[in-house]
Chain A
Amino acid sequence: MKQARSKNVGITVFIILLLTPVYWLLNMSFKTNQEILGGLTMWPENFTLQNYVVIFTDPSWYNGYLNSMAYVTINVIITLLVALPAAYAFSRYKFLGDKHLFFWLLSNRMAPPAVFLLPFFQLYSSIGLFDTHIAVALAHCLFNVPLAVWILEGFMKGVPREYDEMAYIDGYSFPKFFVKVFLPMIRSGIGVTAFFAFMFSWVELLLARTLTSVDAQPIGAIMTRTIGASGIDWGVLAAAGVLTIIPGLLVIWFVRNHVAKGFALGRV
């Protein structure tokens, strides 16, 4: 009994420590700027939704979310479309230099994004892709595709080759087999991959900010540019932060079981 209680106390303290910054953000988002700057209050004394109203009515704010969601979605779709066939090839076929190619893909992730900043910027500017959603999505693919191939290959290897053959024997053509038989079998792998691609692309700021200026500016970039004539608008900034966390929470809620499976397979 005593042991169980001390364990609970430990977990409670841990969770409180973890959630304090999140709570503080939430707290701030419902306060006025005067209250935020005025002194320490544990909860909003003058509860207000004004900060959220600002974000949902001001196009320069909500467009940031729309831009972020647009390039993240494009990125996840491209990543999956490219990585699924690649992972299948790595898991099923032997070809010259397959192992080296696989490792080279992974090594792409080892370079910090800043390394690719200059070439991307120059390249996109010269071909007119600068400040578009697809530009950011493609840049993020450089990091997401290798990870996706790696995760998916692990899941695909877990499916015995006999399943492929069985389907061919039954009369499935390759594309039909791949879509109707194979993909459902590795759907948790696809879920995990989509989640990781989403997560990277959603939180990545450096490339997203550098490759955009106005039309495709992500929310992260807007949040860093809120210093107006009257100083920093703390309340609106906090509300923006809360709204930025929400999509991540939603996604993680949907894939939580699959992620656990991915960890069990040792690929995440």
Chain B
Amino acid sequence: MSLTLENLSRIVDGVDYIRNASLTFEAGSFNVLLGRTLAGKTSLMRLMAGLDKPTEGRLIYNGEDVTGQSVQRRNISMIYQQFINYPNLSVYENIASPLRLAKMPSSEIDRRVKETAAMLRIEPLLKRFPLELSGGQQQRTAMARALVKDATLVLFDEPLVNLDYKLREELRAELRDLFRERQCIAVYATTEANEALALGGTTTLLHQGQVVQSGPVMDVYRKPVNTLAAQLFSEPPMNLIRGRVSDTELSFDEDTRHALTQELADLQPGEYWFGIRPSHIALKPANDDDLEVPVQVALSEISGSETFMHVESRHFEMVTQLMGVHQYHTGAPISVYLPINKLFVFDTHEQLVHTPSQVSGRGV
């Protein structure tokens, strides 16, 4: 069982919503679509659901072309960002509605509704109406309705965005467990890189309607094919610094240079983009060979127990993600330290040429 998208495009009024997307989703897989707002996540899902018709390309399910098939005839479910339930039906009837339409015997409906409600822990609420529930409970009801009917394709369109932080963490963890045993294709759209990492499975990066990269989540995270993929899958986005490599050293500008390590020795002399994740930059050297970069503080944002510090020098700027609360005055000259073994290297066409090895303990 698998769903294949063949060169799928959707163009509305001359605007590309989705351009030439080719992907394959296997049964029992959990797939995350990661991209910024307007990247085409929802458009792609709507094409997969059959709610929109592609301008070009085909949708193939188990070897059968299902491109023009109506939504009613496909066995899919979708969960929206807004909490969408039938307002005039009780929670029980909401969950039962797809089964009733499938003309299932009522004893079977009752069994399934109770089972699904128990799974999502909304059993005590079955007699209530959706608008009497909290946001989290409403979304659980929507999920129960989506899961009760054994759909072959379950689409989540940023389902947790409208929930508070705590509920989001909780539901996300449960969601992953719910799908471990199922043989359906789950597709989950999100704008948050961290959510994609937490959910695991397969990650597909989307940008302006195009698929940038697709693969198992850790492969995509560790080996971004180009600078765009690297920036999409990093929160805050990966820092990119223009620099050059000579026979013996790499340099960002006249002041910032470092002898080539064994790892980087294979690089041909020339211009490159160097990428470094904000969380890898430190205020103190962690290793002897860390690259010291003199910079000025541009902005220091404190977010909970972390500090996002924007720093700049004459030729480039960077964001650093620091643990704890750090306060610096704007314009204060400081030094930040870049672990040389964590550098990603991209060529001038922004394609990946070097990935850092995972030697030290802090991960990539």
A binding-site residues for B, Cβ under 8 Å: 160, 162-163, 165-166, 168-173, 181, 184-185
Q: How far is the CA of A173 from the CA of B80 in the complex (A)?
A: 20
Size category of the binding interface on chain B = 20 to 34
Ordered by A's residue number, 14 sampled pairs between the chains whose C-beta atoms are within 8 Å are A162-B80, A162-B82, A165-B71, A165-B78, A168-B72, A169-B49, A169-B77, A170-B97, A170-B98, A170-B145, A171-B98, A171-B101, A181-B86, A184-B88
Q: How far is the CB of A171 from chain B (nearest CB, A)?
A: 4
CB-based nearest B residue for A165: B51
CB distance from B73 to the nearest CB of A (A): 9
* Chain A residues with CB under 8 A of B186: none
Residue of B whose beta carbon sits closest to that of A174: B72
Whether the Cβ atoms of B101 and A170 lie closer than 8 Å is yes
Residues of chain A within 8 A (CB-CB) of B149 are 170
Q: Is B338 an interface residue (CB 8 A)?
A: no
With A171-B98, A184-B88, A185-B87 already in contact, the answer to whether A166 and B72 are too (CB < 8 A) is no
Q: In the bound complex, do residue B101 and residue A172 qualify as a contact, i.e. CB atoms below 8 Å apart?
A: yes
In Å, the complex CA distance between A160 and B72 comes to: 19
A193 to B226, CA, bound (A): 58
Whether the pair A171, B78 counts as a contact (CB closer than 8 A) is no
Q: Which of B78, B86, B88 lies in contact with A169, CB distance below 8 A? A: B78
Measured CB to CB, the closest approach of chain B to A170, in angstroms, equals 4
Instruction: Find chain A residues with CB under 8 A from B71 CB.
Output: 165, 168-169
Apart from A166-B78, A168-B51, list 15 A-B contacts with CB within 8 A.
A160-B84, A162-B82, A162-B84, A163-B84, A165-B78, A168-B71, A169-B49, A169-B71, A169-B76, A170-B101, A171-B72, A171-B98, A171-B102, A172-B72, A173-B72
Q: Is the CB of B88 within 8 A of A166?
A: no
* B125 CB → nearest A CB, Å: 19
- In the complex, how many angstroms separate the beta carbon of A185 from the nearest chain B beta carbon? 6
Give B7 Cβ to nearest chain A Cβ, in Å.
25
> Residues 91-110 of chain B: 1 if any A CB is under 8 Å from the residue's CB, otherwise 0?
00000011001100000000
Question: A133 CB to closest chain B CB, in angstroms?
Answer: 34
Q: How far is the CA of A181 from the CA of B80 in the complex (A)?
A: 18
A162 CA to B155 CA, complexed, in Å: 13
B residues 140-193 touching A (CB-CB < 8 Å) = 145, 149
In the bound complex, CA of A68 to CA of B213 (Å): 70
- Taken together as a complex, chains A and B put the C-alpha atoms of A165 and B82 apart, in Å, by 13
| B contact residues around A171 at 8 Å (CB) | 72, 98, 101-102
